[in-house]
Structure 1
Amino acid sequence: MSEWWLWSYVILCAAALLLFVRWSRNPKGIPQSEYRVVFVILAWSAIWHVVAALGAGRADIAGHAMDWTHYADWIVTAPLLVFSLVLTATHAVAEKRTGLVTLIVSTFPMIITGPIAEVMESTTARFAVYGTGMAALALVLGLIWGPLRADAERQPAPMAAHFVIVALLLSLLWLGFPLVWILGPPGVEIVDEDTSTILFVVLSALMKVGWGIIDVGRLRAMFDRGQLAVT
């Protein structure tokens, strides 16, 4: 059952890539770099979901099957999602991107702690590492809603309001991943392995396809209404 969801996600990514290629030919004031970031996010994520669908991404570790393709996907797409959000927050104030490196680097600990926790034999150690990952996520969210939001508010009001919407969506979706992790086999085992995989696929679809379409689509609509500054 989970394989069907994995292949469906790959098809969805391919369709979204075609949409963004079409949009990039008429960028409507959005830098091509923002389209390229989305291309990489979708292509990279699709590749690892193909690997997972083929059954090549699992290893038996610490009494459960660890799907390392999740982490191979997230270690690249998480910082790129942050980069995309930064581009949105600083579209009209590009010179204010002083905290870009700090914010991107902060995403790595929250991803790396996942596989480290999964290989821990001790339940206490596993939850301790998981807690470290949650602290890293809290740092990322703090940077988004602190310094990055302050940068976004230096933009025209429609752009600042758009940032709040997409930042809120991204934040909520990000919270979903550790929730599924802790409810699944590595955590308290309320949901089984297949259900965890399906939930991760749904979250990935919402974050990497849905969120990207909302972010770029709203920016394109703002350009049509004359609310987006051309950079």
Structure 2
Amino acid sequence: MIGGALLFWVWSRNPKGVPQYEYSIAMLIPIWSALAYMAMGLDQGKTEVAGQITHYARYIDWVVSTPLLLLALGFTAMFYVPKQERSITLLFGLVAADVVMIVCGLFADLSENSTARLLWYICGVGAFLCVLYLIWGSLRQIALNSDAELGAIYTKLAGFLTILWICYPTIWAVGPSGLGIINQTTETFLFVVVPFFSKVGFSILDLNYLRDLAPRKPAYHHAA
């Protein structure tokens, strides 16, 4: 994670027309996650509920890093849209749905009985579907309306992020807090590997695309 943050800092020294806030977001995501993983590595940020270990440090990580990822994706969709015309309401709705999803996941993990756990899990999945709806609906349409090449790039990034994000509730469902198909060690390993690709991997792709696009940035026009 720190290696990824350093890479983005190096790129920010030669931004190639990409706004500095894009690099700041990309750097903050892995730095914040690295702190959460350090806490888990030091055997902190966890508690035992109903005989299972809940790593609440993960949720502290996700409640900050995943909204930043969605903001990065949203800013990519609106890359050609002037700042004053960007939909703050859309970005707020995206982040709000994501925070609800993370909080529901935390309460599901902290639930002592299976009924409460399942109810919180279902609520979290519902919030996740709202996130996907905004990603593949309004945001994708903004990117497509702005420029065909940007639309294609956004679609690739959204697909990459969606596949990895689907892994999160899937791992949770088959882990000790869900069906118990995989053990705690395997779940913890997967919850380290998948975030690396969804955070550092996504930011590498995102910034690479933007650094290539920025010098050829066309004049923005409203789609009919």
TM norm structure 2: 0.93
Q: How does 1:55-204 map to 2 (within 5 A)?
A: 55-94=43-82, 95-98=85-88, 99-204=90-195
Name the SS of the counterpart of 2:80 in structure 1: coil
Query: Which residue, out of 5, 18, 26, partners 2:14?
Result: 26
Name the SS of the counterpart of 2:178 in structure 1: coil
What residue in structure 1 maps to residue 40 of structure 2?
Answer: 52
Matches of 1:184 and 1:210 in 2, distance apart? Answer: 24
Show CA shifts across 1:55-108 (max 9, x none). 112211122011111101000011111100011000101313241111111111
Structure 1 runs (4+) greater than 2 angstroms displaced? 226-231
Matches of 1:228 and 1:166 in 2, distance apart? Answer: 19
Structure 1 residues not aligned, in runs of 5+:
1-12
TM norm structure 1: 0.90
How far residue 122 of structure 1 moved from its aligned partner, in angstroms, is 1.7
Asked if the contact 1:45/1:77 (under 8 Å) is kept, the reply is yes
Name the SS of the counterpart of 2:54 in structure 1: strand
How far residue 222 of structure 1 moved from its aligned partner, in angstroms, is 3.1
Name the SS of the counterpart of 2:10 in structure 1: helix
Amino acid across the alignment from 1:32: Q
> Aligned pair 1:42/2:33, yes or no?
no
Matches of 2:166 and 2:42 in 1, distance apart? Answer: 28
Size of the aligned set, in residue pairs, is: 217
How far residue 229 of structure 1 moved from its aligned partner, in angstroms, is 4.8
Name the SS of the counterpart of 1:154 in structure 2: helix
Query: Which residue, out of 2, 13, 17, partners 2:5?
Result: 17
Asked if the contact 1:120/1:126 (under 8 Å) is kept, the reply is yes
Cα RMSD of the aligned pairs, angstroms, is 1.5
